[in-house]
Amino acid sequence: DMQMTQSPSSLSASVGDRVTITCRASQNISTYLNWYQQKPGKAPNLLIHAASSLESGVPSRFSGRGSGTDFTLTISSLQPEDFATYYCQQSYTSPSWTFGQGTKVEIK
Amino acid sequence: QVQLVQSGAEVKKPGASVKVSCKASGDTFSSYGINWVRQAPGQGLEWMGWISVDNSNTKSAQNVQDRVTMTTDTSTSTAYMELRSLRSDDTAVYYCATDRLAPFDAFDIWGQGTMVTVSS
């Protein structure tokens, strides 16, 4: 079974900080990697698909990189509205998907 | 733009069944899949299953495949997920989501979520 491992599980950062979240797949998934942001009490929101394609309306401070098994989500300058939980998801095995366990970004 | 509106919160007893609906509006109900994702309180996202709107093919996660049934009604643009033999660990928010970004099949549109509580 495909496993997705995110690190760290949580982090504390200040407004303006550069933040990087890592996602590792247990097998090669090419660029079939998506990133979501979820705020408390809300449905997840798609930020990036295909590892690096930013969704319409998502601020350019968000970026994604990687291919194969190792991927990153970077927020170049953390804003107050970015404090949330972030999930990676592999879609290589569609129609079966796997999420990472999530990374909670908290205010320092 | 597609919108997904889910049915309201449910409280069920252990052993019962629950059926959650997900009504699509704003675009043609075709050429994509509807996925079901759940999130237990304080936990992460768990993919449960997928149904093709076009041909009703389904795929389920192994841990629920014996208890879950997914269907669609194209006449009302509505998808349904029924979970049987409910247990306390089925208590979660259940989301539906479309996967329209072929070939990468990311979940681009989500419903608002339906809270299902299983308690005696």
In the block, residue with structure tokens 């095995």:
A93
Q: Which of B3, B14, B8 is nearest to B93 (CA)?
A: B8
Q: Can you give the pLDDT at residue A51?
A: 98
Which residues fall within 8 angstroms of residue A42, CB to CB, at 6 or more apart?
none
CA-based nearest distance B106→chain A, Å: 6
What is residue B84's predicted lDDT score, i.e. its pLDDT? 98
- CA-closest candidate to residue A33, choices A87, A102, A101: A87
Tokens in use for A4?
């997705």
Distance CA A6, CA A87 (A): 8
Residues 6+ apart with CB under 8 A from A76: A18, A61, A62, A63
Query: Using a CB-CB distance cutoff of 8 angstroms, which residues of chain A are in contact with residue B108?
Result: 46, 49, 55
Question: What pLDDT was estimated at residue B30?
Answer: 83
Say whether residue A54 is in contact with chain B using an 8 A CB cutoff: no
B106 neighbourhood in chain A, CB within 8 Å: 34, 46, 49-50, 89, 91
Contact B104 A34 (CB under 8 A): yes
- pLDDT in single tens digits along all 120 residues of chain B: 889 999 999 999 999 999 999 999 988 888 899 999 999 999 999 999 999 999 999 999 999 999 999 999 999 999 999 999 999 999 999 999 999 888 889 999 999 999 999 999
pLDDT of residue B101: 86
Q: Do A91 and B44 touch (CB under 8 A)?
A: no
CB B82 within 8 A of CB B60: no
Cβ–Cβ below 8 Å for B111 and A43: yes
Tell me the C-alpha distance between A19 and A11, whole Å.
9
Distance from CA of A71 to the nearest CA of B (A): 15
Q: What is the pLDDT of residue A5?
A: 98
Work out the average pLDDT over A75-92. 97
How long is chain B? 120
Please tell me the distance from the alpha carbon of residue B52 to that of residue B59, in angstroms, as a whole number.
9
Rounded to whole angstroms, the Cα distance separating A95 from B58 reads 8
Question: Contact B59/A50, CB-based, under 8 Å?
Answer: no
Measure in Å the smallest separation between the Cα of A5 and chain B Cα atoms.
12
pLDDT band at residue A34 under the 50/70/90 scheme: very high
Using only C-alpha atoms, chain B has a radius of gyration, in whole angstroms, of 14
